[in-house]
Chains A and B, each alone.
Chain A
């Protein structure tokens, strides 16, 4: 155990030494890793900020049922009864056409709304609040059932915009997965290549070490340390880049939100997310380095 720790300490010291000796190379490698990792991470934070908004807006699923002018009282009564017994419906309010007109006049603030019109153009309507937590599929099904009812002119699902946003976010999440997969592969290739260059510059040392009795593990160890360190620093730099970029965007986002009367800011990375990002970049770097060393050792055995 002591022996093992000593070998590891030695490898770590050598690794730090060689990284410090070639600062430009080290810095370039870190930047490439950081930029590659900052794309999916920044995208993820944007998505989660926007998703938080849709959670905040009360997506109270509401349906407006507009009746035909020719609907008979019997038809209206039957619809009312059906709505009262439907499990998906939480609350029903009947808005007669006269009341709707009054409300409209109040809102617009003009008594002359009817000037030039011989009769009230608004239909009778039911405002239905669906049970909270109803899925969009259930709501659409409810809308279609109601639309088929005799006496119903049109049914509007008022939460459609919120659902569209939700779907857009779901699309973004799939996009995120694709970006993550691509850039993860790129990251492993980049670090693998960086380690391969390191191996080439230390080819003689590896050859001599092997000839005088070094195990594969001994040869691999400093390169794995280098990869892990590059991954860690690259991951931290990625978080820095993302935090800086979002902070830079935030004043503009705040101004935009203000025009909607909202206060909204893009979320910055939290410590748990930083840890996850670093863990992922470290693991990918290790994977890339492992393959690079393995290939070299196999070829030169």
Chain B
């Protein structure tokens, strides 16, 4: 599903965010990405989504070389990927409902189908009944759930989450991880970046550990 071949990313200024990474994530796998902040977790996720282009090497998603895609083709690849951002990127000028519907508008869903899917996604993440609120009225944990609802509303095959449990207390973090587990059970490929490894241990999944842009044992 996702394949890295000798991928390096150097940011302007000579900082190597990731160095010569090669790995493969199979379809339907749930993989944790561990490491301190600055280890290259976010960069790795951005490379998968085509938000960053590698300095060298190839990133394959669904057998497509994302790093070589044209500007025109990239949006269509991103529609198969659900993104949960570290900084949420929630739009506060519109309701919870309108935040979640954005991917559906982009793909071109209409009328009753939009409503059905948005409400289903909100229900799934435990925000049922809050669709008409402004996101500012939600708690931190609820905003995180809103972000997840927006990422899954168009049922992407791949879900990438950057620090989804940061700033959440332990119980709440477990709730979120349970939510991801339920997506995993219906066949979604998940890559979850987190710095707190103790959370991942409970799930007994594959863990990729990054340090200074390289894998450690």
Chain A residues near B107: list those with CB within 8 A: 213
Q: Is the beta-carbon distance between A213 and B71 smaller than 8 angstroms?
A: no
Q: Which residues A195-215 have CB closer than 8 A to chain B?
A: 204-205, 207-215
Whether A107 sits at the interface, judged by CB under 8 Å, is no
Which of B89, B93, B108 is the one whose CB lies under 8 Å from A211? B89
Chain B residues near A214: list those with CB within 8 A: 75, 106
Q: Is the beta-carbon distance between B51 and A213 smaller than 8 angstroms?
A: no
Q: Contacts A211-B83, A213-B79 hold; do A205 and B91 have CB atoms under 8 A apart?
A: yes
Which of B72, B81, B89, B105 is the one whose CB lies under 8 Å from A207? B89
**How many Å lie between the Cα of A80 and that of B217 in the bound state?**
119
Chain A residues near B81: list those with CB within 8 A: 213
Size of interface on A: residues with Cβ below 8 Å to B: 18
**How many Å lie between the Cα of A204 and that of B76 in the bound state?**
20
**How many Å lie between the Cα of A216 and that of B103 in the bound state?**
14
Chain B residues near A7: list those with CB within 8 A: 105, 108
Q: Which residues of A contact B (CB under 8 A)?
A: 3, 6-7, 10, 204-205, 207-216, 218, 301
- The main secondary structure of chain A at its interface with chain B is helix
The chain B residue sitting closest to A21, CB to CB, is B93
The chain A residue sitting closest to B90, CB to CB, is A208
**How many Å lie between the Cα of A214 and that of B77 in the bound state?**
10
The chain B residue sitting closest to A201, CB to CB, is B93
The chain B residue sitting closest to A2, CB to CB, is B110
The interface bits of chain B over 104-143 (1 if a CB of A lies within 8 angstroms of the residue's CB, else 0) are: 0111101000000000000000000000000000000000
16 extra interface residue pairs, beta carbon distance < 8 Å, beyond A210-B75, A213-B76: A3-B108, A6-B108, A6-B110, A204-B91, A205-B91, A205-B93, A208-B102, A209-B102, A211-B51, A212-B79, A212-B150, A213-B75, A213-B103, A213-B106, A213-B107, A214-B106
Chain B residues near A208: list those with CB within 8 A: 89, 91, 102
**How many Å lie between the Cα of A212 and that of B93 in the bound state?**
18
Q: Is the beta-carbon distance between A215 and B110 smaller than 8 angstroms?
A: no
**How many Å lie between the Cα of A149 and that of B85 in the bound state?**
96
